[in-house]
Structure 1
């Protein structure tokens, strides 16, 4: 079982870096679902992508993509320090998304076979 960690820092909308990371994660999950353990840690402005009740006007829908990943067994966590700084720690999160800590990220990074940054 290969352990993959995605660390996403960019805002969910405005550029396509966040979207590109999710697209790759979804493809890996689909293509290698029995062979990988997938974890995503959202930091900085990326944490807003983990909020519930998103209604983007057009294009991709980050909340739905994250919910698909978690439904398929991926773990998705938001940096608690980053959510606190943005005043969103107590807001409802997308289904399956949780608040995480830097301690967890350190553990995930140490255990990961590959770390991808977006």
Structure 2
């Protein structure tokens, strides 16, 4: 099984980078070829992608996309330092999203066959 790590750095609605990264994660999980394990690590302003109860007025829904990645068996982790810097550690997160450390990202990076950054 191929392991793919996707690192996202931008805010959910400030650019289309998180949207495109999550589209890729979802599409990778839908491929009929070799099965893949997709891990998503959110850093910097991207940690806000994991906040629960998002209500975008139009366009894409980042919360829904994160939930799809999780439902497909992917893992989503947030940078603990980035969450603390933005005051997110006490806020409700999307179910099954985990606050993690740079050690976790380092382990995922070393274990990954491919790493993408957005």
TM-score, normalised to structure 2, is: 0.96
Distance 1:92 1:34 in 2: 35
Structure 1 residue 14, shift from structure 2 partner: 2.0
Q: Give the aligned CA root-mean-square deviation in angstroms.
A: 1.2
Contact 2:2–2:34 under 8 Å retained in 1 = no
Change (3 A) 1:32 1:94: farther
Q: Which residue of 2 aligns with 1:16?
A: 16
Change (3 A) 1:51 1:33: farther
TM-score, normalised to structure 1, is: 0.96
Structure 1: 4+ residue segments shifted above 2 A: none
Alignment size in residue pairs: 118
Distance 2:67 2:97 in 1: 8
